Amino acid sequence: MTKKIKEVQLISISDLLDIEKYKENGAYFCERFGIMMNLGDVPENEWMNPYQPYRSKEWRIARITSGVSKYIINLQEHVLQKNTIHILPPGTLVMKVSQSDDLSAEFLSIYDLDELNSRIPQGHTLYYTADEETGLRFHEYYKLILRMTQDSRTPFTSIRLTAFALAEDMISQQEEIQGKNKDKIKLNRHQLLNDQFMELLNQQGTLKHEIRFYSDLLFVTPNYLSNVVKEISGQTVSWWINYMVVMEAKMLLLHSNLQIGEIADRLGFSNLPFFSRFFKRETGMTAVAFQKQFS
Amino acid sequence: MTKKIKEVQLISISDLLDIEKYKENGAYFCERFGIMMNLGDVPENEWMNPYQPYRSKEWRIARITSGVSKYIINLQEHVLQKNTIHILPPGTLVMKVSQSDDLSAEFLSIYDLDELNSRIPQGHTLYYTADEETGLRFHEYYKLILRMTQDSRTPFTSIRLTAFALAEDMISQQEEIQGKNKDKIKLNRHQLLNDQFMELLNQQGTLKHEIRFYSDLLFVTPNYLSNVVKEISGQTVSWWINYMVVMEAKMLLLHSNLQIGEIADRLGFSNLPFFSRFFKRETGMTAVAFQKQFS
């Protein structure tokens, strides 16, 4: 008997949707490229279920064209509304919270966009609400790429390059906005420390559950870190660490073939009962019950 | 007194046109980018004069939208008509022959597009007439880039990247067409030898005027080369060599500060009288008269 490989499943849009159904509405789907579609064509109940975190498989580039939706992306709340631009690299921790009935978006998912790695590394996202002009520009790129995908002669490299140009354009438009507001905002030291903590938590939070680990890396006392994070984010450091662990635990319960004992191990718990008690306390249900509820 | 530097002037579109006048019609001009405009806005008599060869300074990317024009580009006749796509690298030897009154084109000139060097090296061009669908795609890119140039916040890098995506898309559409016709055309050996000769002539023709120089490089006898080139192009090897030298001589007379003796030297003539007799015989006028006629 061969050993079954233990793995975490990264989720692509085609895992979440019955793509075939939407091809008729102009959605474009191809193994190498990914998918391009208007999310407005997809009824809410067929789209990603709320409160089920997963890690994404592909690059996602989107502009909201109507409606509102709320997501937790790498632990942070993202409110998406008209002209919100979203670029998420592969491996992003995504959880839908809610979406309005009239949600629609121009949406592109694309497997390989390595050129963007240095601009938006894993753990980061591009997330801002653009002005009308920039929104229109996204729309023009979107139409152009759609046109390209619908011509069967177009090689994948051409589509990829234009998608890259779109992403770069959206990034530099945001930098432009940021630059303009730099004087106004003047990120204070508390804000900065909070942001650095959140970045570390996203990178290391699944295994490192001690405040001191983070405060040491940030050259402050645990007390000071706790006070600042509480002041800026409204929640304590411990709350954030638990939040991260629960999110990752749920993701692994839903999207891996790991045993619960292995999940506990991956999350840095020294034994299964510790993990079980932790999960029950934080979510109100057992890990097994959670897993069953969504399968 | 400092020595005056001897140089050949590469010609940019802004050397040929009074750009300021066309800004009102939506032409976009910037020192770093180059220019973007609809050539239909420029009356024939203000545009490049016919029969005055020059070497171009920037990358040029164009799609003809109406009318017809005829150019000699790197010694070859180019007939431009609706949906002809043209990409010329810097240093291309350009000579207008004629153009119809209703000529109009979507036109981009851009200084720095190094990424394209390997795709279209100096001495080569992209030149083909596209189908409606590809023409429309060029138009969509053009509109998008125009929109970007009109937003003062857009950084140059974004515009450049999208222009590069446009060029790549046009190149790959042509490769697609070529690929489809490969079986039909089956470039025969005579055609191939002729093409290789033309390429060598463009690279070396200003200095190398001996048939044997070319036939040796192509591993054939001078006689065989002459017969094949005559069969394919309708002209002899000597005719082509003279054509190249005259073209370059005219270009230098018009667009450099070199003395005529220096031009003769640059073109590989061992003394000025040889060059003068050659020029008079080929063009019917002396070099000085030619220079005066157009200055």
Q: Within its chain, how far is the Cα of B11 from the centroid?
A: 11
Q: Which two tokens stand for residue A77?
A: 């709340």
* Residue whose structure tokens are 């959140």: A198
Which of A58-67, A110-119, B234-243, B271-280 has the least mean pLDDT? A110-119
Specify the CATH number for the domain of residue A142.
2.60.120.10
Residue pLDDT, tens place only, B176-187:
887 766 655 566
Nearest to B166 by CA among A78, A140, A37, A201: A140
Is there a contact between A176 and B162 if contact means CB atoms under 8 Å apart? no
Quick one: residue A67, left, alpha or beta (phi over 0 = left, psi -120 to 50 = alpha)? left
* Percent of chain A at pLDDT exceeding 90: 62
Residues of chain A whose C-beta is under 8 A from some C-beta in B? 133, 136-137, 140-141, 143-144, 147-148, 151, 153-155, 157-158, 161-162, 164-165, 168-169, 172-173, 176
**Distance between CA atoms of residues B211 and B223, nearest Å:** 9
Domain stop point among B138, B162, B184 = B184
Which of A148-152, B46-50, B263-267 has the least mean pLDDT? B46-50
Dihedral (CA of B176, B182, B188, B189) sign: positive
Model pLDDT, residue B65: 94
Q: Which of A144, A155, A172 minimises the CB distance to B158?
A: A172
Residue B8's pLDDT band, with cuts at 50, 70 and 90, is confident
Interface ipTM: 0.78
Residue A1's pLDDT band, with cuts at 50, 70 and 90, is very low
Nearest to A173 by CA among A50, A85, A285: A85
Is there a contact between A137 and B158 if contact means CB atoms under 8 Å apart? no
Model pLDDT, residue B125: 93
Residue pLDDT, tens place only, B127-171:
999 999 999 999 999 999 999 988 888 888 899 999 999 999 999
Model pLDDT, residue A18: 77
Specify the CATH number for the domain of residue B282.
1.10.10.60
Model pLDDT, residue B122: 84
SS3 category, B288: helix
Is there a contact between A176 and B153 if contact means CB atoms under 8 Å apart? yes
**Distance between CA atoms of residues B27 and B37, nearest Å:** 4
Residue pLDDT, tens place only, A87-133:
999 999 999 998 888 889 999 999 889 889 999 988 899 999 999 99
Which residues in chain B have their CB less than 8 angstroms from residue A138's CB? none
Gyration radius (Cα) of chain A, Å: 20
Residue pLDDT, tens place only, B43-86:
766 766 778 899 999 999 999 999 999 999 999 999 999 999 99
Count A/B contacts: CB-CB distance under 8 Å. 67
Instruction: Compute the nearest-CA separation of B71 from chain A (Å).
Output: 29
Q: Which of B141, B151, B161 minimises the CB distance to A144?
A: B141
For residue A282, CA distances in Å to A238, A259, B151, B160, B165 come to 12, 20, 50, 51, 50
Domain stop point among A143, A165, A184 = A184
Name which of B144, B159, B175 to mutate to probe chain A: the one with the most chain A Cβ atoms within 10 A of its Cβ. Answer: B144
Model pLDDT, residue B4: 61
Name which of A172, A174, A177, A180 to mutate to probe chain B: the one with the most chain B Cβ atoms within 10 A of its Cβ. Answer: A172
Is there a contact between B144 and A151 if contact means CB atoms under 8 Å apart? no
**Distance between CA atoms of residues A125 and A148, nearest Å:** 26
Domain that holds residue A83: 13-184
Instruction: Compute the nearest-CA separation of A241 from chain B (Å).
Output: 39
- Residue A46 belongs to some domain of the structure: yes
- Residue A6 belongs to some domain of the structure: no
Tell whether B29 and B115 lie within a shared domain: yes
A97's enclosing H/E stretch is: strand A93-99
Tell whether A174 and A76 lie within a shared domain: yes
Q: Average model confidence (pLDDT) for chain A?
A: 88
Tell whether A144 and A24 lie within a shared domain: yes
- Residue B5 belongs to some domain of the structure: no
CB B41 within 8 A of CB B27: yes
Partners of residue A19 on adjacent β-strands: none
Model pLDDT, residue B44: 67
Tell whether A173 and A264 lie within a shared domain: no
**Residue A3: pLDDT above 90?**
no
Which residues in chain A have their CB less than 8 angstroms from residue B167's CB? none
Residue A184's pLDDT band, with cuts at 50, 70 and 90, is low
Q: Which two tokens stand for residue A167?
A: 């992403």
